[in-house]
Amino acid sequence: MFEKKPKLTSTKTKKRDIPSGLWVKCDDCDEMIYNQELIANLKVCPKCDRHFPMTARERISALADMGTFQETNANMTSVDMLKFTGMAAYTERLKTYQRQTQLNDAVITGLCQIRGHPVTLGVMDFTFLGASMGSVVGEKITAVIESATERAIPSIIVAASGGARMYEGILSLMQMAKTSAALARHAKERLPYIAVLTHPTTAGVMASFASLGDVIMAEPKALIGFAGPRVIKETTQQELPDGFQTSEFMLEHGLIDIIVHRKELRDAISKTLQYFAANGGRKSKAA
């Protein structure tokens, strides 16, 4: 079957996304928080506002209008193309993470509505191999942007990444070019793209689609940067400035548009999209 529309399957938040144990201790303020309360609070500490890590499925439930999310490329999985022979085989790592996270790879993509705005949404999940970008992440992100371009709707990506998918070698690097290429075409059609940076967003993801948003939003106190702080310290033999590579640091240096509290994120996105659509949306290029 040759079909333009991506395969649609619905995704529900699963019970297993909820951390086991009734109580969770906040690393920042030492408060013991009742787990149900933490979840109800979008995984934000009620006492100190620390943003706890969120899985992709939790994020989608928090952003997409109820019942609107239709997943695309849900069954796409990685291939051990290079037959990577290291201390641990890639295929084994994949199996372990698939079992642990109930994800096929480090991103979930799909179509949904955010406060009534039809958008495509891609959400990376740090719990799967540190949200490293391999062929699957690159392909799903590229496809979901292309799908937004075809439908003439905005594209939203919630980014996270700890580094490259080394097991896929150079093909991992090439995903940076591929995803940015899709954004080039999307931008040429004057269609909105919003990047949301979460803890942590670094390396190749940061040096491609995460840095290319028309509007770039970040969650508070996320680690955001290109090179890892340890690498920088070793290379330069320099002390790093206070708050280096945090969302707040990025904002102060003029590198992101806005820091948004997780509870405000859905509003911030929908209001921004409202502005972009206010005067009939894209302006004719011939004007």
Contacting another protein within 77-96 (CB under 8 A):
77-79, 81-82, 84-88
Confirm if 27 and 50 have CB atoms less than 8 A apart: yes
Q: Angle of helix 265-278 relative to helix 56-63, nearest 10 degrees?
A: 50
Amino acid at 69: F
Residues 221-240 that bind another protein (CB under 8 A): 225-228, 231-232, 235-236, 238, 240
Residue 143 makes contact with another protein by CB under 8 A: yes
What's the closest the beta carbon of residue 160 comes to another protein, in angstroms? 14
Residue 50 makes contact with Zn ion by CB under 5 A: yes
Comparing CB distances to another protein, the nearer of 101 and 142 is 142
Strand ordering across the sheet containing 215-218: 9-10, 70-72, 107-114, 117-124, 155-161, 193-201, 215-218, 258-259
Residue 171 makes contact with another protein by CB under 8 A: yes
How big is the site for another protein, counted in residues (CB under 8 A)? 73
Amino acid at 165: R
Q: Tokens at residue 184, please? A: 């080039």
Exactly one of 164, 223, 265, 273 binds another protein (CB under 8 A); that residue is 164
Residue 45 makes contact with Zn ion by CB under 5 A: yes
Beta bridge partners of 110: 71, 121
Stretch that binds Zn ion, among 38-46, 102-110, 147-155, 203-211 (CB under 5 A): 38-46
Comparing CB distances to another protein, the nearer of 45 and 196 is 196
Binding partner of 7, given another protein, Zn ion, none, CB within 5-8 angstroms per partner class: another protein
Comparing CB distances to another protein, the nearer of 104 and 272 is 104
Buried b (16+ CB within 10 A) or exposed e, 57-95: bbbbbbbbeeebbbbbbbebebeeeeebeeeeebeebbe
Q: Give kind and range of the element (H or E) at residue 123.
A: strand 117-124
| Residue carrying structure tokens 């006492």 | 47
What's the closest the beta carbon of residue 27 comes to Zn ion, in angstroms? 8
Exactly one of 26, 144, 218, 223 binds Zn ion (CB under 5 A); that residue is 26
DSSP state of 168: G
Look at residues 111, 112, 108 and name the one whose alpha carbon lies nearest to residue 122: 108
Exactly one of 117, 178, 199, 262 binds another protein (CB under 8 A); that residue is 178
Site string for another protein, 104-133 (x = CB under 8 A): ------------------------------
Residues 205-224 that bind another protein (CB under 8 A): 206-212
Stretch that binds another protein, among 57-65, 136-144, 261-269, 278-286 (CB under 8 A): 136-144
What is the DSSP pairing of strand 23-25 with strand 215-218? unpaired
DSSP state of 285: T
Amino acid at 94: L
Residue ranges in contact with Zn ion by CB under 5 A: 26, 28-29, 31, 45, 47-48, 50
